[in-house]
Amino acid sequence: MKLLLIAVFSICCTAVLAQNIDSVATRKTESSKKEAKKWYESFSIRGYVQVRYNRLLETNPKLKCEQCDRSIGDGGGFIIRRGRIILSGNIAKNVYFYIQPDFGSSTGTTQNIFQLRDAYFDIGFDKKNEFRLRIGQSKVPFGFENMQSSQNRLPLDRDDALNSAVSNERDLGAIFYWAPKSRREMFATFVSDNLKGSGDYGVFALGVYNGQTANRAEQNKGQHVAARLSYPFSVYNQIIEPGVQAYTGMYILPTDLRTPGVKAANNFEFEDKRIATSLILYPKPIGIQFEYNWGKGPQYNPAKDSIETRNLRGGYITLTYKKTLKNGMVFFPFTRIQKYEGGKKHELDARSYNVKEIESGIEWQINKYFEFTTSYVLSERRFEDSKAKSNLQKGNFLRLQAQINF
């Protein structure tokens, strides 16, 4: 009997113990399921909207800038310059995605068209993701201001000289990035600390891309190649970031950008290459941003009514000051001086330009969600194509922009 009772007791104890073990295991499994989020539960959604008006104190309505803001001059009014929504996150530890559409694009007289800006993913090759390969449509590694988000930039539009290299700053391809962990952390703080950084585009970048600019199909079998080297470092309380970048390739002017009858050799295929230098002193509190580039590209020649491969050169310097008040408001007074002589391959007939311009203004950050910018522009632009020869326009105007960040 004792043996029977002992056996029954042992069986009951074993059953209870097994049940407890199963219960603990179940709780651990449920707990780990709660802790381990799915990738779509952790990605972020953010964005910004810019609304502008450019025609106050305007002295010449014929002064326009297609590359800059198409609401400048005749036909302009209030405009949604950018309406961006950004989706990004890590699908896995070494796989990152980034998608950015824009609801403020325009074509012809139609505004607020949905258009893709970025759509890429990064593949990391090491535990720290210091070595990455970016595949998809993204910014071409050329220039500091080109890489800098319009959400952070002080002048309302990018400079003509370097931005004429890549329309919308983007193209479709594959780009290799490398930066040690310490530099990647610095790139992140330049944005989070409100120092007007460009973002994390590596210390070294090397990539291949179509070369026809964003959202346009490739026109030949050869791709463009771009490389960039940029290294930030601290000197006492200041941060300096020198850089050098270059690209080369063959560009074909699309048929929709040619005036009927305009002449060109080699079936409208042109040598397209540039090299640029950058020197950035982050605003702590005084900031300096300087870039200059040289190269060759397609350019309209009004004397021959033809498009030719011609030399180009130009750059800019931006001076700024950062002032933070006790209530948290931030002011960025700034002045940019720019000059450019060359063509713009993404405009009609690779339009020829000679630009001299000064823009002075102030950005007022009321809080991290809302900011207001006003600037005054003194501009002299000669821009010529087969439809508009001897087209020199001079003028001044006041610009206003309200921006909301979310």
CA dist 226 and 175 (Å) reads: 9
**Cβ atoms of 345 and 270 closer than 8 Å:** yes
Q: Residue range 178-189: average pLDDT?
A: 97
Q: What residue ranges define each of the domains in the chain, with the CATH number in brackets?
A: 45-405 (2.40.160.10)
Q: What is the pLDDT of residue 17?
A: 33
Q: What is the pLDDT of residue 36?
A: 65
**Sorting pLDDT into bands at 50, 70 and 90, what band is 3?**
very low
Mean pLDDT of the chain: 91
Q: Residue range 215-220: average pLDDT?
A: 93
**Sorting pLDDT into bands at 50, 70 and 90, what band is 9?**
very low
pLDDT at 340 over 70: yes
Query: Per-residue pLDDT tens for 104-135?
Result: 887 777 888 889 999 999 999 999 999 999 99
pLDDT at 239 over 80: yes
Q: What is the pLDDT of residue 265?
A: 86
